[in-house]
Structure 1
Amino acid sequence: MMHVSSLTVVPVKGLNASHPPSVTVTPTGIVGDRQFFLVDAAGKLFSASRTGAFLGLRASFADDVLAVADVRAPVDLGPPVLADFYSLKTVPTHEVLGPWAEFFSDVAGQPVRLVHADEPNGGTDVHALTLLGDASVAELAAQAGLVSVDARRFRMSIGFAGAAPHAEDGWAESEFRVGGARVRVGGPVPRCAATTRNPDGGDVDLKTLHLIKGYRGVSVGELGRGIHFGVYADVVSPGVIRVGDVLEPA
């Protein structure tokens, strides 16, 4: 029987992820996930693909207060920013005022701004959720001749156990019940250089893309040719999902 083994929330995209025991899922994604992100002076997304400097930091956001490391401040929105997201889309946001530009610029070593997406989960890439099987991560490790690979480096919304390696690849357009929610699985997730970084320290410590390509090759997804690992999913019915919940065909 398949079940949820992990859940991932990243309030500020590019920072260290949190792994709560439960999440609330809405049509746009997990409540609080990827609501904030960083942009450079030109308004382009400044993510973990560009730097690992932020992966040692974890954010929390509650009661309209954002906390990162020892910095804590109410979220005060300033001027609008139309953020360039990988040249795939533009995301309407507003700059977050207060200590954040100085704080994150010091960490990055260059000017960056913290922005708040106007829409819920505005910092997600394409679809509301992502799924990845634990067996798929174990297969990557086996193919690479490693004892294990830390699944956290993939920052997937829902990790699950109890299926064969890469079983999720065959689920496109299928619907699944998971906890109190219902999701529809989409196509494969193209991976980027962020997966090569240690999920805690940010150093490049594993040639993830090279290893995945070595046994899975390059394939075509909705964003074109890429190195794929895990799948997207959309929310059909919102609800609460907990670690340990059964994942089953609807």
Structure 2
Amino acid sequence: MKSAQGEDLEVADVEPGGLRGDRTWACLDDLDGTVGSAKHPRRWGRLLDVGTNLRDDADEPELMVRVAGRDVRAGTAEADTVLSSYLGRPVRLSRELPSEAKLHRQLPDEAGMVPEWMHDARPGQETVTATGNAQLDGRFVDFGAIHIVTTGALSLLGQQLGRTAVAAGRFRPNLVIDAAHDPEPGQELHMGDVVLRVMVPTPRCVVPALGHGQLPADRLLLGVLARHHRVSVPGLGRAACFGIYAEVVRPGRLRLGEPVR
């Protein structure tokens, strides 16, 4: 579910559009039809504390949502009522991506966090933008099917912040790979019978600096990303990036500890 907490999995099936069940649900605002995203913290930041559990033992995965200690099933009136009360606005959970879907976004206050392709935007500005790549099986994705971070990049970021480590969960990746550095665009990653192809670095928004479950807010993080991780995104321009997006070349099953070639 978009912007909700994820799950730590030991086994995951990879489909052409991404991990099975990943970002197939989202909150839609009943007032203006926009997609709920923690990219606008004041409106949707509480989504980051909503838990999820994908029950994948049937032909169609069933999503259970935990809201303030209460478990409800996505797609029911009960889930919509509970989420609306929790978020303080009328919402409904949906698997249907609206045509020309849009979301509210608040840009970070750091100038280096504003991507070059947002030509008229300024730090701290509130805006409404398209959700991103709506072609991946109708999922509520920003761009790539798979989002990856590496342990080497996390270690470097920790050094830049003056810390021993940075939690991967801040960046909400699908996969964490034990590697000294990020692979380059165009490289293929072979993991068992799964093959992924690296596309572009992942532009970052305000979300990594927000509190995530047990992780507190991190006011220093975005400044470091803006200073040390502003790179060129092919075909778009410069942006503060961390992690990479990848597309699925060959679907299959992934297991924790799978060697990566």
TM-score category by the smaller chain?
0.7 to 0.9
For CA contacts below 8 A with separation 6 or more, give which structure has more relative contact order: 1
Provide closer, same or farther for how the CA distance between residues 121 and 164 of structure 1 changes in structure 2, counting only shifts above 3 A: farther
For 2:22, the equivalent position in structure 1 comes to: 33
1:137 aligns with 2:140: no
Answer 1 or 2: which has greater strand percent.
1
The correspondence for 1:56, drawn from 44, 49, 61, is: 49
Task: Deviation per CA, 1:6-53: give whole Å up to 9, x if none.
Answer: xxxxxx111111010111101111001111011222121211222331
Superposition deviation, residue 56 in structure 1: 2.1
Query: What is the correspondence of 1:97-116 to structure 2 with a 5 Å cutoff?
Result: 97-116=76-95
User: Conserved in 1, the CA contact under 8 Å of 2:199 and 2:247?
Assistant: yes
- The unaligned stretches of length 5 or more in structure 2 are 98-135
Is residue 246 of structure 2 the alignment partner of residue 240 of structure 1? no
Partners of 1:222 and 1:126 lie apart in 2 by 14
Name which of 47, 52, 64 aligns with 1:67: 64
- Kept in 2: contact 1:174–1:185 (CA 8 A): yes
Q: CA RMSD in A?
A: 2.1
Matched position secondary structure for 1:177: strand
Cα distance, 1:201 vs structure 2? 5.2
**Cα distance in 2 for residues equivalent to 1:222 and 1:128:** 18
Normalising by the residue count of structure 1, what TM-score does the alignment of the two structures yield?
0.77
1:55–1:202 CA contact under 8 A, matched in 2 = no
**In the alignment, is residue 18 of structure 1 matched against residue 11 of structure 2?**
no
Equivalent position amino acid for 1:72 in 2 = V
Deviates most, 97-106 or 145-154: 97-106
Which runs of structure 2 are paired with 1:39-50 in the superposition (5 Å)? Answer: 39-40=28-29, 41-50=31-40
State whether structure 2 residue 169 is matched by structure 1 residue 152.
yes
Task: Name 1:78's counterpart in structure 2.
Answer: none
1:180-195 correspondence to structure 2 within 5 Å = 180-195=193-208
Answer yes or no: is the 8 Å Cα contact 1:197–1:203 preserved in 2: yes
Q: Which amino acid counterpart does residue 113 of structure 1 have in structure 2?
A: R
From 126, 129, 132, the equivalent of 2:143 is: 126
Distance across 2 between alignment mates of 1:226 and 1:187: 11
* Closer/same/farther in 2, CA of residues 39 and 202 from structure 1, 3 Å limit: farther
Name the TM-score, length of structure 2 as normaliser: 0.74
Distance 1:122 1:246, change over 3 A: same
CA distance in 2, matches of 1:240, 1:192: 30
Per-residue deviation, residues 37-96 of structure 1 (Å, max 9, x unmatched): 1122212121122233122221123355432222333x5xxxxxxxxxxxxxxxxxxxx4
Distance in structure 1 (CA, Å) of the matches to 2:199 and 2:25: 25
Are the structure 2 counterparts of residues 59 and 121 from structure 1 closer, same or farther at C-alpha, using a change threshold of 3 Å? farther
Aligned to 1:164: 180
What residue in structure 2 maps to residue 212 of structure 1? 225
Q: How many residues align?
A: 212
Secondary structure of 1:227's aligned partner: strand
Q: Is residue 200–residue 233 contact of structure 2 (8 Å, CA) maintained in 1?
A: no
Give the fraction of aligned pairs with identical amino acids, expressed as a percent: 28
Aligned letter for 1:39? L
TM alignment of 1:222-241, pairs within 5 A? 222-241=235-254
Amino acid at match of 2:165: S
